């Protein structure tokens, strides 16, 4: 019995009813179109499979009811919009800020990222390009020179992208910790470079404060992950003197002093007698060393000593102005010391390239620091690049245990010369002072 036109229309209307995002009629239409397009050999056998694929490809989430959008969705949407607005700004040419005559030199990260990728450190070409633009924006907004991408510190709630640069500024003269350890001035020692941090490429750069010796020592005594919030408190024992931004800066100082290296000959010791520990770029011609040997790599930054400084503490002087020798003072730092002396802390690997003759020295060498996992240096000829990508924690074979609190003092320790005791001035206290009216003289006999 043939169906009438009215029956066909009623059946079609029934199939076009939507109980969800897609009607049966639309689904069958897409399914038949896919069968005709793909022309499978066993159309009946793959019918159910193709039906499932069509459902996946045509599914669309139901629109939320009016006023039904959750606070979480709204917050995520606002955060995404804020990120997109901030990230998009780096694609426009930065205008130099007031006080910046000409932006400083910026590392060509897009080029060096290719060599780092070859060495196994892949930040992604798109991300490298965005970071390069972010570094240029920093150089245009701050009177900083020689800007480079220092690395990325991973955190539990967010990561830190860190930029390094040279900044001329004045520090507080004579500033020292409570134990008398003098702070290193800006441009010297652990404060030779200035550092900035942001949460994503294109985000606002936040200047990290200069580091103090006490912060360096405290950072070496605790072990914890970063939260991603620069203003977060730093827990643990011993107590850390500062927030997470100071802890991040102290960790950067420790990693930089231990892992930043360069091919021998790129830098030279200063000839200035007043600055015996200064290391400057070598302006003379030199022969490129064999980069696959440990003796060909040197530290061009001074190491940190037990005081948290790169050099011994300035000596105290007596009444005649003569320096007083300190038997506990650390040894002067080694200038341009090679990593060959640090056995077991480095891994050197030549990276082969197509067309290399058998036995030939590799053109690109990757050097990894094993004490700080994530610190990598690549060398190619006279050029080199340092980067750190990790959690900001050194390698330790033993299970970490917090420091044990010190012994409780038997009595109050005071230096009589600096803080002498003083006798309190005798004060006569009126026993009726502050008593309610009518109660004065209570307990005395009536006259």
- CA 250 to CA 308: how far, in whole Å? 10
User: What is the token pair recorded at 395?
Assistant: 């390698």
Whether 42 maps to a domain, the answer reads yes
3-state DSSP of the chain: CCCCHHHHHHHHHHHCCCCCCCCHHHHHHHHHHHHHHHCCCCCCCCHHHHHHHHHHHHCCCCCCCCCCCCHHHHHHHHHHHHHHHHHHHHHCCCCCCCCCCCCCCECCHHHHHHHHHHCCCCCCHHHHHHHHHHHHHHHHHCCCEEEEEEEEECECCCCEEEEEEECCCCCCCCCECCCCCECCCCCCHHHCCEEEEECCCCCCCEECCCCCHHHHHHHHHCCCCECCCCCCECCCCCCCCCEHHHHHHHHHHHHHHHHCEEECCCEEECCCCCCCCCEEECCCCCCCCCCCCHHHEEECCCCCCCCCCCCCCCCCECCCCCECCCCCCCCCCCCCCEHHHCCCCEEEEEECCCCCCCCCCCCEEEEEECCCCCEEEEEECCEEEEEEEECCCCCCCCCCCCCCCCCCCCCCCCCCCCCCCCCCCCCCCCCCCCCCCCCCCCCCCCC
Q: How far is CA 213 from CA 162, 268, 273, in A?
A: 21, 26, 25
Q: What was the pLDDT predicted at 276? A: 74
Pick from 259, 274, 308: which residue ends a domain? Answer: 259
Res 82: pLDDT: 78
In a domain, 68, yes or no: no
Say yes or no: 43 and 150 in one domain. no
Radius of gyration of the chain (CA): 34
Q: CA–CA separation, 22 vs 18, rounded Å?
A: 6
Q: Which of 192, 225, 259 is the last residue of a domain?
A: 259
pLDDT of residue 16: 76
CB-based contact 211:232 (threshold 8 Å): no
Name 47's Cβ contacts closer than 8 Å, sequence gap at least 6.
31, 35
**Would you write out the chain's pLDDT as a tens digit for each of its 447 residues?**
566 777 778 877 887 787 777 788 888 888 888 888 888 888 888 888 888 888 777 755 555 556 555 666 777 888 788 778 877 777 777 777 776 778 889 999 999 999 999 888 898 889 999 999 999 999 998 899 999 999 999 999 999 999 999 998 877 777 888 888 999 999 999 999 999 999 998 889 999 999 999 999 999 999 999 999 999 999 988 899 999 999 999 999 999 999 999 999 899 988 777 777 888 888 888 888 888 899 999 999 999 999 999 998 888 877 777 778 878 888 888 889 999 989 889 999 988 765 555 555 667 899 999 999 999 999 988 889 999 999 999 998 888 887 788 788 777 666 655 566 666 677 676 767 666 665 555 555 454
For residues 115 and 252, membership in a common domain is answered with: yes
Q: How far apart are CA 282 and CA 265, in angstroms?
A: 7
Q: Does 164 lie in the same domain as 47? A: no
Q: How far apart are CA 301 and CA 82, in angstroms?
A: 39
Residues 182 and 34 occupy one common structural domain: no
Query: How deeply is 210 buried, as exposed, middle or buried, from its count of CB atoms within 10 A (0-12, 13-18, 19+)?
Result: buried
Q: Which residues of 160-188 are buried (b: 16+ CB within 10 A; e: fewer)?
A: bbbbbbbbeeeeeeeeebeeebbbbbbbb
Q: Are residues 111 and 222 in the same domain?
A: yes
Three-class secondary structure assignment of 173-209 = CCCECCCCCECCCCCCHHHCCEEEEECCCCCCCEECC
Domain end: 259, 293, 322, which one? Answer: 259
pTM for the predicted model, two decimal places: 0.74
The domain in which residue 176 lies consists of 103-259
How many domains does one find in the chain? Answer: 2
For residues 206 and 140, what is the distance between their CA atoms, to the nearest angstrom? 15
User: In this structure, are 186 and 122 located in the same domain?
Assistant: yes
Taking the CB of residue 64, how many other CB atoms lie within 10 A of it?
Answer: 10
Question: What is the rounded CA–CA span in Å between residue 301 and residue 279?
Answer: 7
Q: Quote the pLDDT of residue 447.
A: 44
Check whether residue 42 and residue 124 sit in a common domain.
no
* Whether 42 and 107 share a structural domain: no
Question: Does residue 217 fall inside a structural domain?
Answer: yes
Whether 155 and 228 have beta carbons less than 8 Å apart is answered as yes
The per-residue b/e assignment along 384-417, b for 16 or more CB within 10 angstroms, e otherwise, is bbbbbbbbbbbeeeeeeeeeeeeeeeeeeeeeee
My answer on whether 110 and 226 are in the same domain is yes
- Write down the pLDDT at residue 420: 62
Nearest to 197 by CA among 163, 154, 159, 234: 163
Residue 73 lies in a domain: no
Q: Is 131 within a domain?
A: yes
Is 203 inside a domain boundary? yes
Q: Quick one: 27 and 124 in the same domain?
A: no
Based on the domain organization, do 43 and 168 belong to the same domain? no
Residue 119 lies in a domain: yes
Please indicate, yes or no, whether residues 223 and 145 belong to a single structural domain of this protein. Answer: yes
The verdict on residue 388 lying in a domain is no
Phi and psi, residue 116, nearest 5° = -65, -35
């Amino acid at each position: 019995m043939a169906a009438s036109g009215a029956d066909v229309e009623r059946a079609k209307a029934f199939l076009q009813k939507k109980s969800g995002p897609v009607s049966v009629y639309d689904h069958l239409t897409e399914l038949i179109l896919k069968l005709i397009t793909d022309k499978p050999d066993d159309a009946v056998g793959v019918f159910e499979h193709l039906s499932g694929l069509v459902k996946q490809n045509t599914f669309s989430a139901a629109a939320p009811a009016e006023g039904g959008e959750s606070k979480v969705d709204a917050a995520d949407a606002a955060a995404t919009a804020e990120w997109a607005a901030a990230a998009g700004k780096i694609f426009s040419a930065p205008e130099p800020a007031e006080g910046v005559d000409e932006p400083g030199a910026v590392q060509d990260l897009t080029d060096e990222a290719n060599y780092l990728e070859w060495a196994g450190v892949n930040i992604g070409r798109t991300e490298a390009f965005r970071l390069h633009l972010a570094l240029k924006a920093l150089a245009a907004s701050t009177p900083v020179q020689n800007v480079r991408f220092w690395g990325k510190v991973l955190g539990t709630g967010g990561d830190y992208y860190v930029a390094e640069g040279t900044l001329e500024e004045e520090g507080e003269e004579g500033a020292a910790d409570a134990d008398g350890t003098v702070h290193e001035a800006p441009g010297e020692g652990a404060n030779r470079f200035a550092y900035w941090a942001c949460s994503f490429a294109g985000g606002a750069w936040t200047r990290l404060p200069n580091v103090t010796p006490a912060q360096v020592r405290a950072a070496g005594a605790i072990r914890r992950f970063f939260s991603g919030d620069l203003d977060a408190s730093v827990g643990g024992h011993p107590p850390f003197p500062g927030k997470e931004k100071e802890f991040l800066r102290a960790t950067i100082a420790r990693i930089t002093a231990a892992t930043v290296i360069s091919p021998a000959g790129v830098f030279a010791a200063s000839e200035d007698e007043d600055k015996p520990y200064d290391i400057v770029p070598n302006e003379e011609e030199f022969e490129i060393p064999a980069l696959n040997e440990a003796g060909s790599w040197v530290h061009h930054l001074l190491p940190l000593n037990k005081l948290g400084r790169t050099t011994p503490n300035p000596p105290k002087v007596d009444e005649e102005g003569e320096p007083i020798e300190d038997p506990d003072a650390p040894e002067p730092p080694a200038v341009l010391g090679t990593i060959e002396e640090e056995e077991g802390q480095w891994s050197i690997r030549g990276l082969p390239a197509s067309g290399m003759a058998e036995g030939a020295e590799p053109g690109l060498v990757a050097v990894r620091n094993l004490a700080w996992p994530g610190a990598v240096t690549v060398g190619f000829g006279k050029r080199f690049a340092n980067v750190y990508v990790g959690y900001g924690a050194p390698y330790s074979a033993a299970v970490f245990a917090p420091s044990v609190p010190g012994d409780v003092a038997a009595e109050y320790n005071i230096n009589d010369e600096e803080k002498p005791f003083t006798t309190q001035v005798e004060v006569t206290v009126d026993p009726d002072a502050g008593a309610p009216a009518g109660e004065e003289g209570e307990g005395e006999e009536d006259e």
